[in-house]
Amino acid sequence: MGGFKLRVSEFAGRAHTRFAASRLGIRWAALPPRTQRIAAGAGAGGLVLVILAALVLGLSGHGSSSASATPGIAVGSGSAAPSSSASALSSASATPKTPDDGVSPRVPDVLAKIADCSPDSTWPVSSGGRFYVSCSLGTKVVAIDLSTDTVAQTYTIDNPTSDAPDALIVDSGLWVSFGSEDGDVQRMDLTTGNQTKDLPGADLIADVSGTIWMSDTNGNIVKVDPATAKTSKAGPNAADLLNGDEFVMAECGMFWGQTKDGEILRLNPATDVLTQMGNFEDGGTLEDVVPSGGTCWGVVDSTDESGGEVLVRLGTSCGDMVTSTIASDPYMLGDTFWLVSDDQTYINQVEPFGGKEGRHWLVSTTDDSWIVGTNGQVWVTNAAGLSRLDIPLDKMTPGATPKTLKCQAPLATPTPVVSASASASATPTATPTLTPSPSPSPSPSPSASASESASESTGP
């Protein structure tokens, strides 16, 4: 992930498709039917087992969502219309043929398949009990009802390119951003599916603090009211940070960046207050920011000879805790950390504070696929479409307490510029003080944005 240069025209895709090149796909290799696995070797009793399995399949339900939907706001008209579909092939997980010792590698059962979506690499979004996935190179977006695992609505998209969208945002409508040469942002009414706004020459950046951020036709950083689509000028710090050469990301309700000198910067988008957080104690490059347990962690290149990455807790004014080295960039499923194997044949949960790894789930990966944990469910892409897998997201037993770091003094330059409307204090008032805890579940830091974005799955 060399360097941290990322311009605004590329930011939307990076912010919402972080780890897209390493996200996971799935390749199912000629598995026998579940009923054959259950009945195999049982002789005459096999029929009884098949019947019992059928009862289990019929009585088992699916996960549900408690999130609340945000109604779409129509401010224009369009010709795109939704279509309903119930094409998901839902089925419950069968009882494993072999005893589950909780450790041995396993192939996860498929709980549902969405047959009418050829999923894109665009990072999906979960909102209001629905899971929004871009399909068929951005020509449509399907909304999956997470309580039934079926397609509740299909949005037809006017795609100005032949590529997948850079980003999806769901906030008072479905926002779709295409990274064409000139850029294009569209908003669809969530209920009718009609296009209610078309913003040529624009690029989505993020949805933070109840405001959508994007670059306009002139390349200026602007804030967008998601309900009215009206734009307003961004503060000087936001404009400078988001339009600069530093690597920038949006997570935990904040914008984050790192200067060429290694200085970590945090911007409160609600106040335009910029906080200089110093360099990491042992150097290192900020690769990503992920939320976990109400706390924000930076994924940092390790300076250890073993390589890999470490997680640094992003406290009030600096990185104040660091975990042991983990093998590779972690990503988040729900509120747990996961790693992909070097040969991309399996995934496994990791307890990063002690470096302990959990069970290996035999799921192969591809460069253009992804895996997301939402509402306690795991959804992945594969060559055949979109599937939900039976992989538990239970938390692991906590390991060693992370090492406490000493805050480094901020660099003399650059001097933070605070907007006139912002507080005179250099410390964001929205950020609570973090106190290192003897437990590896630290005190909360800035809370994540209310609207779903890359953080949903933030993650990563």
Confidence grade of residue 306 (pLDDT, cut at 50, 70, 90): low
Burial class (CB in 10 A: 0-12, 13-18, 19+), 103: exposed
More confident residue, 21 or 279: 279
CA separation (Å) from 329 to 280, 298, 299? Answer: 17, 11, 7
Nearest 5°: phi and psi at 22?
-115, 5
> Virtual CA dihedral for 319, 347, 133, 268, nearest 10 degrees?
0
pLDDT of residue 343: 85
pLDDT for 280: 82
Work out the pLDDT band at 179, boundaries 50, 70, 90: confident
Residues 24-31: what's their mean pLDDT? Answer: 29
| Confidence grade of residue 16 (pLDDT, cut at 50, 70, 90) | very low
* C-alpha distance from residue 166 to each of 9, 218, 356 (Å): 10, 19, 35
Percent of the chain residues past pLDDT 70, beyond the cut: 65
In this structure, what is the dihedral angle of CA atoms 126, 131, 134, 136, given to the nearest 10 degrees? 170
HSE value, Cβ hemisphere, 13 Å, CA-based, for 402: 26
What is the band of 424 on the pLDDT scale with cuts at 50, 70, 90? very low
Lowest model confidence (mean pLDDT) among 13-22, 187-196, 379-388, 413-422: 13-22
Q: What mean pLDDT is reported for the chain? A: 72
Nearest alpha-carbon partner for 352 in 288, 292, 420: 292
The answer, yes or no, to whether residue 288 has pLDDT greater than 70, is: yes
- Cα 204 to chain centroid distance, Å, stands at 16
Strand pairing of 403-404 and 319-322?
Answer: antiparallel
**In this predicted structure, what is the pLDDT of residue 222?**
94
CA-nearest of 208, 232, 207 to 221 is 232
Residue 44 · residue 148 · CB < 8 Å: no
Residues counted in the chain: 460
Per-residue confidence (pLDDT) for residue 411, from 0 to 100: 55
Q: What is the pLDDT of residues 233-256, one digit of tens each?
A: 999 999 999 988 776 899 999 999
* DSSP code of residue 402: P
Domain 8-32+71-94+102-404: top CATH class = mainly beta
Buried b (16+ CB within 10 A) or exposed e, 380-402: bbbeebbbbbbbeeeebeebebb
432-449 residue pLDDT tens: 333 333 344 444 344 433
Q: Where are the domains of the chain?
A: 8-32+71-94+102-404
pLDDT at residue 272, as a whole number? 95
Residue 429: partners with Cβ closer than 8 Å, 6 or more residues away = 271, 423
Work out the average pLDDT over 74-101: 42
**For position 304, what pLDDT does the model report?**
67
pLDDT exceeds cutoff 80 at 147 = yes
Backbone angles phi, psi at 14, to 5 degrees: -70, -40
**Closest listed residue to residue 216, CA positions, set 225, 205, 228, 227:** 205
**Per-residue pLDDT averaged across 130-143, rounded?**
96
Tokens 């800035």, residue? 446
Write the CB contacts of 33 (distance below 8 Å, at least 6 apart in sequence): none
Higher-confidence residue of 279 and 91: namely 279
Rounded Cα distance between 416 and 427, Å, is 11
Q: What percent of the chain has pLDDT over 90?
A: 41
If pLDDT is split at 50, 70 and 90, which confidence band does 97 have?
Answer: low
pLDDT tens-digit series, residues 362-376: 988 787 889 999 999
**Tens digit of each residue's pLDDT (9 = 90 or more) over 375-422:** 999 999 876 679 999 999 998 888 888 999 887 665 554 444 433 333
CA distance 154 to 160: 19
Min mean pLDDT across 10-19, 106-115, 126-135 is at 10-19
Q: d(Cα 304, Cα 5) in Å, to the nearest integer? A: 24
Burial of 2 (0-12, 13-18, 19+ CB in 10 A): exposed
CA distance 156 to 174: 11
The span from the CA of 152 to the CA of 50, in Å, is: 31
3-class SS of residue 447: coil
Which position has the higher pLDDT, 136 or 7?
136
CA quadruple 29, 33, 38, 42: dihedral, nearest 10: -100
